A and B are shown apart, each in its own frame.
Chain A
Amino acid sequence: MSIEDNKVAARAFMNATVRGEVRDDMLAADFVFWNAITGELPRETILSMPNALKEGIKGELKITETGITAEGNKVAIEAVSEAELKSGERYGNVYHFLFEFAPDGRIKRMAEHLDSSRVMPLLKALGLV
C-alpha cells in the first residue's frame, strides 16, 4: 500500500473510532493499541470502545486533524477533540497518534499520545474511575 493509501486509512480509522464505525477488517489480527494511561490493549477492546464513548458523551466526540506526517508503513496525525459530557462538562484533548500498517494495509499498531492530565473527566463520565 502507498503512503497516501495509509494516510487515507489512518484518517478513516481515527474518524471511525469516534463515530462507532470501526470495522473488524481495518485491524490486523495482531493489532495492539497503546496509550500512557491504559498501556497496551488488544483489538477486542478497541472494537468495543465507541460504544463505551457513547455512554459518557452527548452527541459525538468531534475530532479535527491539525497535521499529518507519513513515511514507509507509518502515519503520524496531530489532532484536537471536543465534546460535551453527559454531565454537561466540556471535554477536549490534543493528540499525536501514530499508526503502523501491515503490508496488506491493515493497522497493526495505534499509539495514542494525548494530554493524559485532561482525561480524568472523561474516565469519570464513562464510569471507569
Chain B
Amino acid sequence: MSIEQNKENCRRFLVDSAAGKHDFSLLADEFTSWTALSGEQPRSAMEAAPARMDKLFKGPIIMHVDGMIGEGNRVAMEAHSEGELVDGKAYRNTYHFLFEFNDAGKITRMREHCDTQHVLDTIIPLVTAAAK
C-alpha cells in the first residue's frame, strides 16, 4: 500500500468513525489503540467504543484533519474535534495521532496523543456519574 493510500485510510477511519460510520475492516486483527489515560487496548475495545460514545455525546463528534505526514508504514496526523456532551458542555480536543500499517494496508496500531486534561475535565465526570 502506498503512503497516500494509508493516509486516506486514516482519514476514513477517524473522520467517518467520529461521524458514526464505522469501518472496522480498516483494522488488522491484532490492532491495538493507545491513549495516555487508557493505556494499550485491544481491537475489541475500539469496536465497543461507539456504543459508549453514544451515551456521552448528544450527536456526532466532528473531526477536522489539520495535517498528515507519512513515511514507510507510519502516518502522523494532527486533528481537532468538536462535539456536544449530554450535559450540554462543549467538547473540543486537539490530537496528534500516530498510525502504523501492515503490508496488507490494515491499521495495526493507533496512538492517540490528545489533551488528556480536557478529557478529565469534561468526559470523566459523566462516566463517573453514570457509574453511580
Give A37 to B115 CA distance when docked, in angstroms. 8
Is B115 a contact of A74 with CB atoms below 8 Å? no
The 0/1 profile, CB within 8 Å of A marked 1, for residues 61-76 of chain B is 0000001011110111
B27 on the A face (CB < 8 A): no
Give A114 to B112 CA distance when docked, in angstroms. 10
Q: Is the interface of A mostly helix, strand, loop or mixed?
A: strand
Tell me the number of A-to-B contacts counted with CB atoms below 8 Å: 70
Is A71 a contact of B71 with CB atoms below 8 Å? yes
Instruction: State whether A72 and B118 are in contact (beta carbons under 8 Å apart), knowing that A36-B94, A95-B113, A117-B37 are contacts in the complex.
Output: no
Give A96 to B71 CA distance when docked, in angstroms. 15
A-B contact pairs, 20 of them (CB 8 A): A3-B71, A36-B117, A36-B118, A69-B75, A71-B3, A71-B71, A74-B67, A94-B113, A96-B96, A96-B98, A98-B67, A98-B76, A111-B78, A113-B114, A115-B36, A115-B37, A115-B116, A117-B36, A117-B37, A119-B117
Q: A76-B96, A114-B113, A115-B113 are in contact. List 7 more A-B contacts (CB 8 A).
A: A69-B69, A71-B69, A78-B113, A96-B111, A111-B96, A116-B116, A117-B120
Interface bracket on B? 20 to 34
Q: Is the interface of B mostly helix, strand, loop or mixed?
A: strand
Interface bracket on A? 20 to 34
B residues adjacent to A (C-beta < 8 A): 3, 36-37, 67, 69-72, 74-76, 78, 94-96, 98, 111, 113-120
